[in-house]
Structure 1
């Protein structure tokens, strides 16, 4: 058959179960035979529009425009009345136009099949040049196919689904597409740094098509969609209630809701009954509800108190205010059964749509019946007699070029869609929404739309006006809540029979966690659950971390090392121990003793001090003796003899008169301090070398272990084995141990006797082991860098940030030091047999004193020597000397 039958066959499988749809088809196909009317051709105010079809010269072109609405809904009622007011207003202003639009309205109800046959009825009985509708997104695909075949523009002001029909040129959206709002919604989440959200949407074409855009937007800001709640189109109240109870059991308290009016109202009524519209929760809704917020039932609005949502911004104007006043009066006159009338955004877009079509029709000009022809050929038939518009392409072109200032703002189509100026962010308070800010693609979040040249893109929550959250709370939700049934957090802990100082449902790690939790500004009930595998054995640390990833534990506390691989599956709080992997190796004697051991304390620094000693002695001699008289002569060895004599006399500190000059005495006093210090330093150093065994690590480079093929040890169940394999250790050379005693036994035997040469261990365990075995082993390293121990949480957990801050508070105070002293104190044996502590044997501390003495001595001596050279001789001059002088 023809293309119409093809369209119906395409969707036959979807609607074969709808018996009322089949009855609808039967009535349409055979209505004239059975005497049943084909359609209720509801055309409100059609006569009014025809009466306006007058011009100065009496020559008019009436253009049929099909309108498909669901007149049982508020959107349908408001939009229908706004469109007929638009016809009246437009031609009152443009009375000289040669064209007149005539609206042919069809009530499509909610059936998709009804929408199809409404369009077919319009095309069969009228020379339709344009179709406005359908009202709902789910009905769009059918009408788009029909419009493409008939080559007439299909214009929708209320179907907001992300356009799957952008490839079809005859479909136009005179409303912002839903996908334009997703970045605005993501910016709200980003402003409050929420890392996890739950997405709730209806299982319809309208609800599903926005999901990929939302997922992409949240991925861009590194926010995880923890769960997707999909509400069936046929869900009962009980099913919605059960789904909400499941959501209430989850810790994430940030919800993104994308629903239409019919779904949203029912959903929020149930959410309030469950208790989820209370403090600690945050609800962000899309424009599906915010566009019609004022028209919702008071009970629904009351259940949505504290909700935040976005909708396209429509600027206030005097023209808009005057129109809403006129519309309310007219609507209540035509619909006396309504007690109140609230304008919605869809009505304004419907008004502007009619103006745009009227302008485009006038520019196209005379559209006679000859411009609408039946499409027939030898291979296809059209049993319903639907033709192809010859003016459709021209009308489409003119509609896309239309620009004017409408009630909803500037009307301008970009990619066959209406582009919003900005998105208005509203907070549901009282009977409607209160404006708290705006979002624009250029400037992000802003308090108002008054931008300057210095304005920058903002994602700060400070730009929002005060928000009242659910439960009349002004405190920003943290992003998670304790489940409303009071269930405690399940904290997994490893089970250890050994190394209990760290963790075994008690220990150092547990006490650090308790201290961090106690420092939080709020209380969280939790319980520790020892982890064991199904076979009763204690699992590995990777097995324990998997329990968090599988959501069997809410967190894990213990000696869990932060690694890059583990961070792919879970999040870690800030580390509370120093990182690093160290080697524990036996000590060996450092044998450097011998007959020349008395020379070992002598060093370069010691030599510098001795040089100062000798120079100072010379200066003292010079001050006491004075330079030799050139006329008297002196033995060449006499100065040396006097230096040695003076030195040997000063050291015993005899009470003879050794120095007569005050300067000499000053130098000798300071010089004696140097001599005493050097003497004591030498004695202490030599005593230490003779009294103590010199011990050193048996190995200092782990690469030597690999070259020698030595056995090495690691603690069973840790990540250390994986690290050792990565650095080329042979797996057959790796031996596990479970306790400090077993580690000591392996090290004592050595590789040659069935033990190990070295053990690789993390820093806290190294301290525990060396506290028990004080003088037998030494630590070497760190050989590899790690980030220390950290508490484990699920990916995106909002607890990570708060716990990390709490850990920092604990580590920066004295609490952590107290815990370390309580759990890592050496044993009594180690305390009783500590090595004696000797003074430093490094003579470098005397260098400064030696240099000062040396400089002082040289300055004094040089001064005395200079005075002597220029001083006249005191003995009587001869006659020859007097003559020469």
Structure 2
């Protein structure tokens, strides 16, 4: 009030008023052009306090301030700054300036019963000294407490005696930063010489700079100024203030003061809108016999260890690592957590919902007591509290009406936490955006999401072409092509040396493919004589064995495993057919369904799994539902009891899971969240789930069901690759050997034989028997031995069995165009010999001796 009165006088007389001690932010609202404040505004330091609170993660702060204009002026600014860093002010402790020690003790005892342990003290040293002395006396200067003082105390800390400093050990403080300069050092020396008993504080420095700025302003206008006053015009009803004379040069002097800029002993002196500009503050720690500097706070860089460092001007720091190590109250070096459940504090009142269904999550029985509240969510909450490093006294409070029924939905329960009726809400409460506007949620203790469940039906109608389903079409095509390819390979390798693969073209084609396809049942009767063929067939039989066994297993599962199919697979199908759907009463799912496009007439409410089952039994046509929407935990619980009749289908709509709700800014939330992680990551959570969510023994685990998907080519690609490489290798080796044997034909120097003629000769030879093969040589030797032991004059006709060796329909002779010798024009001796051997062999096979049918004696 005194400052406001003096400012009003200055306005009336148009005389500049300069102050170096009035720091209250409320004075700035007067907006006087003649008021100049050569001191820091108290509101400038709230950014420093908020930065310290944020750096250490404290969520609640209680200001303790003197009950006058000085104390009250900064509190709105402090509250706003703390809210900006997510810190709440749950209580304000106002101390009268003339408070007795008993009053101070009573107020401090009241603070001890509250969980908050971070206090900001804003008052002058006279009252502050008494506060800290009493706090030490009642045990509030221990390691669990945090004390922060404003510059009202720290700027005058050098005037405090040692006994008061002893009671302030571990206190943090915000102090106006005065840079060390040569001018300041010289002034300090002069001051100590002239006034050794009076300590020099920052107010003295500001006063010196204020006088200096006034002198500069007077010098600026002094040549033309006479500093005279004139009487103001007043009427008979005027007050005494109206009788004041008005300065003729006051407005010019005020403008000159506004333009004054210089480097004073307190730092840069510059008045902007009548206010000294300050942007840097020191952060100190009371330790030992004085203060210890921890770091600085600047408007541009936040918390820094040193001014002018390499990081200055680059980033804004809000980390406590930017400060020097702190010795807290109680000589502790551990950072206080900022809150504590008081031993004599109130019991935490926890609201729990009263549910009609899904009581596995929360079940409230009456008559009510803490022991009658059970369920999965309750057990999780108790397990989480057991992981905290401290004990929390709590009491469950049901959220019912007089009959024990719920008085509202979950939004109403959350709002009761916001209004202060409950200290927390525990249950199957889903984290939702609209609820987070009123409370703080812990981390979720279970996953969630909204899913759709529908009835299932067994697709017992087996398709007539079901035998094709075990393999995909690309695997069928690949298998068929390989059977044909293997048949071709076997024919190439066998037809010149194996009579089973000779004969008319259609007979050779049929025999080759018959042999290839018969490997599916390993019923091939033709023998293969080539080692290359045997190599190919062994590889191919291995491929066929795996393919047929896989096909048999897949077909068996298709014909025997129950083919359960959902009746509805898409939400759009429900909307198109205007089917009725169900949702749990009081759930946010109702709003979600309306957003999807369901009308009110299509929505059905259920309260329990039994109600839901009845709705499904009736069906959409008979007043029931075709599908139900609910959160995953409820759906899984429902399916555990009815897994053979219903199934969960896509899509799943995102939800953030179940969590516990606390008042906004509650210091319990971070600790509870960390404890939830500890419980969910361990075996304790599994044990709780086993107790409340037992699966029926008749319900098979869906993850263990036999897969009925068709086998794809991807699964057999390696086998076909091996078979293909083996077959191609055999073909290449065979053709290389054959062409090497026919090199005389290919390299013939006969000018009459064209290239086409040579190719025809090669193909003709390729289609003939290879009489040099050991298979035919063996047969020829056996027949000659039979002729030698036969009677030369026998006239008996050949035995019918003798014709069994015939595979060709007629004798084969060389065509007349067989190349002649190069010089004589006669047939080549090799060719003639080959023809003779072939004729003799055929004759012997055609007319065997009757002796072959001798009876053993």
Instruction: Indicate the SS of the match to 2:400.
Output: coil
Aligned to 2:806: none
Q: Counterpart in 2 of 1:392?
A: 250
Aligned pairs (5 A) from 1:77-226:
138-162=1-25, 163-164=27-28, 167-226=31-90
State the distance in 1 between where 2:705 and 2:62 align.
64
Shift of the 881–272 alpha-carbon distance from structure 1 to 2, 3 Å rule, reads: farther
2:820 partner SS = helix
Partner Cα separation in structure 2 for residue 358 and residue 554 of structure 1: 61
1:660-718 deviation per Cα after TM superposition (whole angstroms, max 9, x unaligned): 33333333223223322332333333333333442211112234334444333223333
Shift in CA distance, 141/427, structure 1 to aligned 2, threshold 3 Å? same
For residues 636 and 656 of structure 2, the distance between their equivalents in structure 1, rounded to whole angstroms, comes to 17
Change in Cα spacing, 1:315 to 1:644, as seen in structure 2 (3 Å) is closer
Matching of residues 156-305 of structure 1 within 5 Å: 156-162=19-25, 163-164=27-28, 167-231=31-95, 239-273=103-137, 275-296=139-160, 298=162, 300-305=164-169
Q: Is the CA contact (8 Å cut-off) linking 2:456 and 2:565 kept in structure 1?
A: yes
| Residue 513 of structure 1 pairs with residue 381 of structure 2 | yes
Per-residue deviation, 1:529: 0.7
Deviation at 1:292, TM superposition (A): 1.8
Look up the SS of the partner of 2:509 in the other structure. helix
Contact 1:495 1:530 in 2 (8 A): no
CA distance in 1, matches of 2:723, 2:663: 68
CA shift, 1:607, in A, is 0.6
1:449 maps to 307
Shift of residue 404 of structure 1?
4.1
CA-to-partner distance for each residue in 1:455-476, whole Å, 9 max, x for gaps? 5232221111111222322221
Tell which structure's C-alpha radius of gyration is larger: 2
TM-score by length of 1: 0.75
Confirm or deny: 8 A CA contact 1:613 1:671 kept in the other structure. Answer: no
Distance 1:598 1:653, change over 3 A: closer
Decide whether aligned partners of structure 1 residues 624 and 822 sit closer, same or farther in structure 2, where only a CA change above 3 A counts. farther
Alignment of 1:773-812 (within 5 A): 773-812=642-681
Q: Which residue of 2 aligns with 1:353?
A: 210
Alignment of 1:537-686 (within 5 A): 537-539=405-407, 540-625=409-494, 635-647=504-516, 650-653=519-522, 658-686=527-555
1:557-595 alpha-carbon deviations (Å, 9 max, x no partner): 321111111111111222232221112211123254244
Distance in 2 separating the partners of 1:248 and 1:225? 16
Given that 2:486 and 2:727 are in contact with CA atoms closer than 8 Å, whether structure 1 keeps it comes out as: no
| Cα 1:853–1:526 shift into 2, 3 Å | farther
In the aligned structure 1, how far is the partner of 2:392 from the partner of 2:150? 34
Instruction: State the secondary structure of the residue aligned to 1:849.
Output: helix
Hey, what's the Cα distance between the residues in 2 that align with 1:873 and 1:500?
Answer: 91
For 1:429, the equivalent position in structure 2 comes to 287
In the alignment, what sits opposite 1:856? 726
Query: Tell me, what secondary structure is at the counterpart of 2:120?
Result: strand
Q: Counterparts of 1:833 and 1:313 in 2: how far apart (Å)?
A: 69
Partner-residue secondary structure (3-state), 1:880: coil
Secondary structure at the counterpart of residue 546 of structure 2: helix
Separation of aligned partners in 2, 1:383 and 1:210: 33
Secondary structure, aligned partner of 1:148: helix
What is the SS of the residue equivalent to 1:209? Answer: helix
Helix, strand or coil for the counterpart of 1:288? Answer: helix
Q: Secondary structure at the match of 2:207?
A: helix
Separation in 1, partners of 2:444, 2:306: 42
Structure 1 residues 726 and 467: alpha-carbon distance in aligned structure 2, compared to 1, 3 A threshold: same
1:371: which partner in 2? 228
TM-score scaled by length of structure 2: 0.77
Question: Is the Cα–Cα contact under 8 Å of residues 291 and 311 in structure 1 kept in the other structure?
Answer: yes
Distance change >3 Å, CA 861–CA 226, structure 1 → 2: farther
d(CA) in 2 for partners of 1:623 and 1:493?
84
Aligned equivalents of 2:335 and 2:326: distance in 1? 8
- Distance in structure 1 (CA, Å) of the matches to 2:463 and 2:606: 41
Larger deviation: 797-806 or 443-452?
Answer: 797-806
Structure 2 unpaired stretches of 5+? 364-372, 745-764, 766-813, 829-857
Gap change, CA 1:233 and 1:734, over 3 Å in 2:
farther
Query: In 1, distance between residues paired with 2:417 and 2:597?
Result: 31
User: What's the RMSD between the two structures over aligned residues?
Assistant: 3.6
CA distance in 1, matches of 2:47, 2:40: 14
Match of 2:793 in 1: none
Choose from 463, 467, 477 the match for 2:322: 463
* 2:711 alignment partner in structure 1: 842
Q: Distance in 2 between matches of 1:766 and 1:881?
A: 95
Point out the more displaced range, 159-168 or 829-838: 829-838
- 1:408 paired with 2:266, answer yes
Q: How many angstroms does 1:159 deviate by?
A: 0.5
**Corresponding residue number in structure 1 for 2:754:** none
* Residues 390 and 484 of structure 1, relative CA distance in 2, 3 Å threshold: farther
Tell me if the contact between 2:284 and 2:291 (Cα under 8 Å) persists in the aligned partners: yes
* CA distance in structure 2 between the aligned counterparts of 1:222 and 1:715, rounded to whole angstroms: 35
Change (3 A) 1:853 1:863: same
1:753 and 2:629 are equivalent in the alignment: no
Corresponding residue for residue 101 of structure 1: none
Per-residue displacement from partner, 1:484-532 (whole Å, max 9, x unpaired)?
Answer: 4254434433344653433344443334334444444x22324351423
User: Which whole-Å CA distance do the structure 1 matches of 2:48 and 2:612 have between them?
Assistant: 59
Shift of 1:882: 4.8
CA distance in 2, matches of 1:232, 1:667: 105
The alignment status of 1:502 with 2:361, answered yes or no, reads yes
Residues in 1 aligned to 2:334 and 2:419: alpha-carbon distance in whole angstroms? 32
> 2-side partners of 1:760 and 1:834: how far apart?
23
Deviation of the 1:146 alpha carbon: 0.5
Alignment correspondent of 1:118:
none
Deviations 1:423-474 (A, max 9, x none): 1111122343221111122222111223247752322211111112223222
**Corresponding residue for 1:880?**
820
**2:852 aligned partner:** none
1:529 aligns with 396
Assess if the C-alpha contact under 8 Å between 1:624 and 1:664 holds in 2: yes
Q: 1:327 to 1:853 in 2, by over 3 A?
A: same
For structure 1, which runs of at least 5 residues remain unmatched after alignment? 1-137, 333-339
2-structure distance, mates of 1:832, 1:357: 89
- C-alpha separation between the residues in 2 aligned to 1:801 and 1:189? 16
Q: CA deviation at 1:160?
A: 0.9
Equivalent in the alignment of 1:58? none
Counterpart Cα distance in 2 of 1:451 and 1:852: 70
Q: 2: CA distance between counterparts of 1:670 and 1:808?
A: 56
Distance 2:312 2:732 in 1: 72
Shift of 1:770: 1.3
1:235 Cα offset (Å): 5.6
Partner of 2:846: none
1:612·1:853 contact (CA, 8 Å) conserved in 2? no
Q: Over residues 721-744 of structure 1, what are the superposed CA-to-partner deviations in whole Å (9 max), with x where a residue is unaligned?
A: 333334343334433333323322
Contact (CA 8 Å) 2:113, 2:345: kept in 1 or not? no
Any idea what SS the aligned residue of 1:183 has?
Answer: helix
